[in-house]
Amino acid sequence: MNRKKAVWVGLAALAGVFALFDVRFDFEFSLPSDMNQPDPAQEARFDACYADRDKEIHDVAFGTIDNPDVQKLFIINNRKQAAVECRLQFPEQLTVVKKPFRFNILDLQFRY
């Protein structure tokens, strides 16, 4: 009789969990490792350089060229050149980031 009661209590608790929480089975497993990532400070400098060059390109295109098709070609070609020049000025630098051990089976999120 005791075992039967324990099974019913367990099923009621499980139903309560599914009623109160959004349960997602998200299996995730990864061993600790070192990972190379681009340096955020260097990438920020590259992005700032590219944004400045892009603004200059647009100013020249819309200030001196009247034909929209020619403007588009001018912008596309000069953006490629600007990206190359900015990358030469601010080359990509990789930093080592230690990735920790992760083990996850399910995620619970409160519904209410």
**pLDDT band at 19, cuts 50/70/90?**
confident
Q: Give 22-53 pLDDT, tens digit per residue.
A: 888 888 888 888 889 999 999 999 999 999 99
Please give the average per-residue pLDDT across 78-91, as a whole number: 95
23 & 59 share domain: no
71 and 27 in a common domain:
no
Would you say residue 93 has pLDDT above 80? yes
Q: Note down the domain range covering 69.
A: 40-92
Question: Are 110 and 86 in a shared domain?
Answer: no
Residues 85 and 105 in one domain: no
One domain, residues 44 and 76: yes
Are the C-beta atoms of residues 35 and 97 closer than 8 Å to each other?
A: yes
Residue 26 shares a structural domain with residue 53: no
Per-residue pLDDT, 1: 59
Of residues 99 and 106, more confidently modeled: 99
- Which residue type sits at 63? G
Domain total in the chain: 2
User: pLDDT at position 39, please?
Assistant: 93
45 and 88 co-located in one domain: yes
